[in-house]
Amino acid sequence: MASSQGDLFVFDSPLHGDVRGERSIMAFPFFALTKTAQMKPIEYHSENVSIEVRPSQNGVATIYDKEIVLYIASLMAAKLREGEPVGQDFTFTAHDFFRVTGTSLSARSYTRLSEALSRLQGTQIRTNIETGGEGEEGYFSWLAEAKLAYSTRGRGGDKRLKAVRVRLCDWLYRAIKLDQRILAYHHDYFSLGPIERRLYELARSHCDGDEPWEIEIEVLRRHVGSNDTAPRFKHTLKGIAEADELPEYQMALYDVVVPPKPGAPKPRRREVLTTVVITPRANRTRSHPIPLTTQLVPAV
């Protein structure tokens, strides 16, 4: 339920319940896997799916910027569950967003929030994935609008952030409202690195019940959206599998030596096919963000 704080804003925050995401943006590589500006476009093409992502002047929206998209999707999903009317405009406090994502309250966090909103509005996406029974030609941005509303105080004119106001793009709005392929996230997702985040999202979107998900490593690299070389990506996955810290899932890598074809000359190197298997953990639970113990107000 929207709440009022002051005379100017009706807030859609705070968020109650799980963080949730839309399945299409979990299953495919729409975001850069970096904290620094990535100017290289993202391209993903398979038999049925085509995705092109162009950078803004500040780079492609990153997997960390995606936290804002997840937060907005969660606010929207909560309204739908309660039977409330849902539009594309959302107003929330940075304080509640930081609470949900486990972000520290610091000046740097507010700067990063502003930069993330800029990339989400500036990044251009084109895809043939339809949502709500409709497709789109041309490009769209994750956020059609993004604004930080401030008030000033004191002789020095110090700024105080009062609200974050955004408008969700038509494509994602239709996906959440009409398709409703919404999946809950484990809160430990926000403590994961970029590759681990993508592995978790892929596991959530592909594992059916308690059944494991098997995928060839090169296909997985494309689904993850990694720019690493194949050997480097495999090395990274081995480290993640050994650490065994993916929430709700376990991962293992299996190598199979491919025998040479009959009559073919003996190769100098063995051809090895690596399969990645991700299995749901037994008795897995989904933790929750910091609970609401007091009424949240915009941070200074």
pLDDT tens digits, one per residue of 109-145: 999 999 999 999 999 999 999 999 998 899 999 999 9
Residue 295 has a pLDDT of: 37
- On average, the pLDDT of the chain sits at 89
pLDDT at 49 over 90: yes
pLDDT at 7 over 50: no
Per 3-state DSSP, the chain is made up of helix, strand and coil in percentages (nearest 5) of 30, 25, 40
Which of 20-29, 43-52, 164-173, 258-267 shows the lowest per-residue confidence on average (mean pLDDT)? 258-267
Helix (H, G, I), strand (E, B) or coil at 67: helix
Give 251's pLDDT tier (boundaries 50, 70, 90).
very high
Distance CA(287)–CA(188), nearest Å, equals 7
Q: 98, 30, 95, 111: which is closest to 66 by C-alpha?
A: 30
Residue 274 has a pLDDT of: 95
Give 33's pLDDT tier (boundaries 50, 70, 90).
very high
Classify each residue of 132-143 as buried b or exposed e, where b means 16 or more C-beta atoms within 10 Å of its C-beta.
Answer: eeeebeeebbbb
In percent, the amount of the chain with pLDDT more than 70 equals: 89
Say which residue, 294 or 173, is predicted with more confidence: 173
What average pLDDT score do residues 92-117 get? 94
Distance CA(39)–CA(61), nearest Å, equals 10
Distance CA(84)–CA(137), nearest Å, equals 31
Residue with tokens 């926000």: 190
User: Can you name the CATH fold of 193-246+249-280?
Assistant: Arc Repressor Mutant, subunit A (1.10.10)
User: How many Cα atoms sit within 13 Å of 69 on the Cβ side?
Assistant: 30
In the chain, the DSSP E strands lie at: 3-4, 10-11, 20-22, 42-45, 50-54, 89-92, 124-127, 143-153, 158-168, 182-184, 213-216, 249-258, 271-280
Distance CA(215)–CA(219), nearest Å, equals 7
pLDDT at 106 over 80: yes
Residue 272 has a pLDDT of: 85
What average pLDDT score do residues 46-57 get? 95
- Name the DSSP letter for residue 294: S
What average pLDDT score do residues 195-206 get? 97
pLDDT at 286 over 80: no
Residue 3 has a pLDDT of: 53
Residue ranges covered by each domain of the chain: 3-190, 193-246+249-280
Give 69's pLDDT tier (boundaries 50, 70, 90).
very high
Residue 294 has a pLDDT of: 35
User: What element of type H or E holds 212?
Assistant: none
Residue 155 has a pLDDT of: 63
The one-letter amino acid code at 80 reads L
pLDDT at 296 over 50: no
